[in-house]
Structure 1
């Protein structure tokens, strides 16, 4: 066991009295304090994007794709169902992909992956969605039974074309 003489410490070792009292401790903090992160890694909703023109258009695209999907899902019977299934696939795909892009832009997640040209990705998504909605609407219009839900789903193409026109101009 150590006696009082041993409390002075060895060469390179701090004495136990200074460690306990802390008045003349040679140990100082060497790292900077860690900042507290809020939420999931500092995610914040970018309200400026959502209030801007592109945010409003992207939100409208998501809502219109959801409306088109709901309209097509309310149809209970069909005899040639291929047009219905294709329109259902296009509207669901547009809803999911455009919704993910809306989240990416509104939460500023696109800045964390700078290798992707997000504006080009958004433009290609909008163009492809418009093209496939146009094809699906033509097929559905040619094969429909003139129900209200089918007509509402076909009218969705006009809004998609208008949105593309707004984005390009």
Structure 2
């Protein structure tokens, strides 16, 4: 008997690149772990912090450079932290670490980044030289900081809803508690 006759009814051809649910990089990348509104907020955080950083890098001269340098550091850090969190949520790394630790880290990183980005934007407003690149950087900085704070608010709302669902009902006995247990 030929080998082809034995194996042909039970084996399947190689699906190739056109067939199959997901292949390559797409098999490792999933946005399904975050609700749609959190995906939008994370994407806006990433985009707006990058735009703030790029606009700040275009500034060629400054009179009071301390605010510019602080804004540069914060906008670059915010971009990298939001990229890191998005990578963790969207790759198999999320399955390898404790989910509660990822969510807790995201909660505090988002709050801290939003507050510091807002502070850096306020400081940059008070020290800028009114060039168009600085004004654009400030606008993107404020928008990015608000996206971080909105995301924090969404996570806080989710935490409060989860705690309300987990809270057991308060069932008290109407009977007298002075009765003996073995009576």
Contact 2:29-2:91 within 8 A present in 1 as well? yes
- Rounded Cα–Cα distance in structure 2 between residues aligned with 1:167 and 1:70: 25
After TM superposition, give the deviation of residue 159 of structure 1 in Å.
4.2
Cα deviation for residue 158 of structure 1 reads 3.6
Normalised TM-score (structure 2): 0.63
- For structure 1, the residue ranges without an aligned partner over 5 or more in a row are 1-37
Task: With the length of structure 1 as denominator, give the TM-score of the two structures.
Answer: 0.68
Query: Which residue of 145, 157, 161 corresponds with 2:142?
Result: 157
1:77 matched residue in structure 2: 61
Question: Is 1:86 matched with 2:57?
Answer: no
Partner of 1:23: none
Match for residue 102 of structure 2? 118
Deviations 1:60-79 (A, max 9, x none): 11111100000100000012
Cα shift readout 1:45-71 (whole Å, capped 9, x = no counterpart): 114247722122111111111000001
Highest RCO, 1 vs 2 (Cα 8 Å, sep ≥ 6): 2
Q: Which has the larger radius of gyration?
A: 1
1:63/1:115 CA distance change after superposition, 3 Å: closer
SS at match of 2:129: coil
Q: CA deviation at 1:100?
A: 0.8
1:89-125 Cα distance to aligned partner (Å, 9 max, x none): 0000011111011011011312211176111211211
CA distance in 1 between counterparts of 2:82 and 2:148 reads 13
- How many residue pairs get matched? 131
What's 2:153 paired with? 168
Map of 1:4-83 to 2, 5 A cutoff?
44-49=28-33, 52-83=36-67
Q: What SS is found at the alignment partner of 1:139?
A: helix
Relative to 1, partners in 2 of residues 1:78 and 1:163: Cα closer, same or farther, differing over 3 Å?
same
**Structure 1 residue ranges, 4+ long, deviating more than 6 angstroms after superposition:** none
1:6-58 CA distance string (max 9 Å, x none): xxxxxxxxxxxxxxxxxxxxxxxxxxxxxxxx869xx6111424772212211
Root-mean-square deviation (CA, aligned residues, Å) is 2.4
